[in-house]
Structures are given as C-alpha cells and as structure tokens.
Amino acid sequence: MRGPHNIWRLVRTGATFERTGAMAEVLEAMNAPARLRLAARVLGWPFKLLGLKGDENLPPLVRALTALGPAYIKFGQTLATRPDVVGQELADQLRYLQDKLAPFPRAEAIAMIEQELGLPLAEAYSDLSEPVAAASIAQVHQARLAETGAKVAVKVLRPGVERAFRRDVDAFHLAASIIELLLPKSRRLRPLDVIVHFESLVEGELDLRIEAASAAEFAANTEGDEGFTLPRPVWHLSQRRVMTLGWAEGVPMGDNAALDALGIDRRELGTRVLTLFLRHALRDGFFHGDMHQGNMKVTADGGIIAFDFGIMGRIDAYTRRAYAEILFGFIRKDYRRVAEVHFEAGYVPPDRDIDDFARALRSVGEPIFGMDARYISMAKLLSYLFEVTERFGMETRTELILLQRTMVVVEGVARSLNPEINMWQVAKPVVEEYVRTHVGPQAFARDLALTAKILSRFGPRLPRLVEEALIAQAHPKPAPTPTRRIGPLGWGLTGGGLVALGVAIGAAL
C-alpha cells in the first residue's frame, strides 16, 4: 500500500546500511569524496539503531541487502557482475546473493508443492532433496519424476515473497517521487517509469507459469545455437508457485578454479557468453534478462547451460535495428551515424545540434578503442555517459532499460572469465552479420513485402475506411461538455476533478 508510511521504510534502509557498516564500505569502494562520506556519517548516525541488524556472519553490504529483502538482493546480484564498478572484493562478496542465501525448511516447500499441484508429493516425485540453491525469490530442490525417474529441478517460491516484494517496490515508488520533486533535473531519467518497469519485471518473476512459458520460447529460439542449451519445463508439474524443469548438470559459471580444473578455455568461454547474448537480442529480440554467473553452468565439454527465466527481455524489430546501428557505428568509429540514429529514433530532442552530439559521442568512444580492457574504468565511463545524456536532454527509454542492464551484466560475466576481453571486438562479427541482413536493400525489400501483406488483409475494408476518414474530417464532431457532478460534500466536480480526487485518495492510501 503506497503512502507516507513508506518514509519509514526508506529511513530504515539508510539506517540498516549505517548499522551494518555497508554505507562506509560502499562509499570507500566507489572512492566517494571525503565530504560525502562525512555527510553520510553525520546524517546516518542518529538513525543507526533503527536499522535492521542482519546476519553478523556476513560481510557488511551482503548483510544489509539480505536483511532488507528480495528487491534489494536483486540489486546486489547485478552489482556482483561489475567488479570494475564496485571493486573485485565487493563483487566476490555479492556473489553470495546469487544462489547461496539461507533456504527455508524443506517441510514448507513440500506443503507448498502439494498445495499448488493438488496431489501428494509421492505422486509427483520419487524423491525431493534438501534445497540445493536458494536465491531472493525461490529455492531449488533436486528430485526425480515419479513416473519416469528422470532427474529434475523443482523451483519453489519463498513463502510471503510476493508481499515482501510489493512492500519494497512501494517504498521505491516513494523514493522516486521524492527524487523527482527535489531534483528536477532527474525527471528526464524518469525515475517513476523506471520503478514501474522494475515492478512489471518482478510481477513476471513471481508467477512461475510465466517463467515456464519463457523457458519454452527461449528453447525454441536457441535450438540451433551450438554449445548452448537450457532445461525444458515439465508442464503438468508447474503452477504459479512451483515449477519443474529438467536438471542442469555442470560447473557454476562463477567458479573459475573449477573451470580451470576441467581444462575449459575461459577466454573462449567469455567470448561465447557475450556473443550469445548479442545474437539472442538482435536475431530473436528475446533474451535472458538475468544472465549473471548464478544462472549459468558449464558442462565438461564447455557447453553453456542457462536457467532461471523469470526475467526475459523483448525488443521490437525497429529498436533492434537502431541498437545494431548504434553498435555498428561505434565499432566503425562513425560517430556521425551514431548521432543520426539517436535523432531518428527520437532518443535525443530534435532541437539539439547533431554535430555537437556526434562530437560528444566521439569523446566517449575514442578512449576505449585500442586501450587494454584492464585499464578501462566502467564507473568513469558510465559517469561521463551520464554527463553527455544530461547535456543533450536525453530521457530514459524504459523499453531499453533491461537491454542496457543485461548488457552491463553480461559484459561483467565475460570480464570475470577473461579480464582482457574487448567487448567491441567480440561484438563486431555479430553486429556486422545482423546489419548485412536487416539493414539495407534486403531489409527494405522485406519490409515492403510485409507492408503489402498487412495491407492485403484490410483490402476489402480500405474503401470504407478511407470514406469514413474523409467524412470525419469534413464534419468533425464537437467535443463533449464535461458533466458537472455534485459530490457528497457539496463540491462541484468535473470529470477531471473526479480523476484528480481519485489520484489524491490513492496517494493518501
């Protein structure tokens, strides 16, 4: 329920970071100015005892995030893939959040399974292990199907996780509103829209039937991708809070020592991870949106197995072309074309100077090319990109948030396997292949054929549609006059007034 009471939740968040020592650790890792560290300490100290204590056996940041709940843990999972942003030590600590959280009792899992499937456990599975992995939303048990004896993974939602997530997201809504109110310049970043987007992703994760459908679609799209597989859902044993998938056997992607023991070429593996993501995003427009180390395993022969399909991204054909042309322009150092694509797609307001924007893009791209990846600071790069977007009034594109976030995560995974990997060199053949087939004469001919096909469906109706449009233009209808209503307290309210009153009541609740 949204309202002013969420202020307490935000205060408690800051207090928890202060009490666990996470605030100082984060500011230190990000090389925050001394004044900012002092201000955070002065403002946080009076509220310190209001914070959650957390598990004292865990490192400070992990301790704070696990104490605060699943939405905060999701954020920590993303940071775990970015040692170049938070530092290697913090990144290693945060990997704990990917699949090593404290599980809930097996007995509770059995009760939920029987309730969701509507049958005794023995009729579904011949065996159900203790939890083998536990994350922010669910935990996984190994089992065998009662009918066939096939080994499967049984994913069960954490009890009460739906309510916990909605509670956290409500607090995020308030935080975004406060940011927009106090920092007008932040409105171009659309904080509220970003939270709404995050909320929609969370809702999808909390229904395992949707995840099973995503797994099936992703499997169909990637069936021909060599060295990449994923477990298939067992539909009759999958419901809203329980999902059954084939078992994925392999070494965790984040265990470099185990990969080296198997003789896996980590340089090649890092390249393949990045290549697969780009191919799925550009070729299919449907990609794994949570592709961190905890959601991938590596087989003995070097094959990649992906799982956990709660967050999947989808981008339309036009956006894919724009994204590919932007990447292609950076690869070719054609910053003028990159700028043109931004303007054509409406990412930059039309009143800005395209040459100035191209020059700003060059200042971002040129330092990267030819530089050893080990010396590229992603934190500084992101900071400078933020300055560029602010200068040119670029608004946040919510449809690209997940794509951009996943790109950052996947690059982090690839870099954890090979610190010297160069994203642009890896991306070049994939992007060039896409541009050859989807941008240019072939794409133009294909678009014309598709347009003709769509128009043919409406052929018999076209004369009538044109006639109705012409009549409507010649004889426009007058706008309806709002009906004046009298509220129960004697207020005279128009339709707009009723909407405003409803919004006010909703905000108060």
- Which residues share a beta bridge with 233? 245
Average pLDDT for the chain = 80
pLDDT above 60 for 501: no
Task: Please give the pLDDT value at position 490.
Answer: 31
pTM: 0.71
Q: How confident is the model at residue 372 (pLDDT cuts 50, 70, 90)?
A: low
Task: Please give the pLDDT value at position 504.
Answer: 29
pLDDT above 60 for 496: no
Rounded Cα gap, residues 413 and 306, in angstroms: 13
pLDDT above 60 for 358: yes
As separate numbers, helices (DSSP H) first and strands (DSSP E) second, the chain gives 24, 12
The CA-atom distances, in angstroms, between 339 and each of 58, 188, 261, 290, 355 are: 46, 19, 46, 29, 8
Q: Which two tokens stand for residue 238?
A: 């999958």
Single out the residue of 281, 82, 290, 328 nearest to residue 201, CA to CA: 290
Rounded Cα gap, residues 251 and 255, in angstroms: 7
What's the mean pLDDT in 116-134? Answer: 93
What's the mean pLDDT in 60-80? Answer: 81
What's the mean pLDDT in 21-27? Answer: 79
Q: How confident is the model at residue 214 (pLDDT cuts 50, 70, 90)?
A: very high
CB 329 within 8 A of CB 337: yes
Of residues 104 and 489, more confidently modeled: 104
Task: Please give the pLDDT value at position 223.
Answer: 92
What is the set of active-site residues?
A: 290
Rounded Cα gap, residues 418 and 411, in angstroms: 10
Residue with tokens 């040692």: 83
Q: Which helix (H) or strand (E) holds 153?
A: strand 151-157
Handedness of CA 191, 194, 198, 200 (dihedral sign): positive
pLDDT above 50 for 493: no
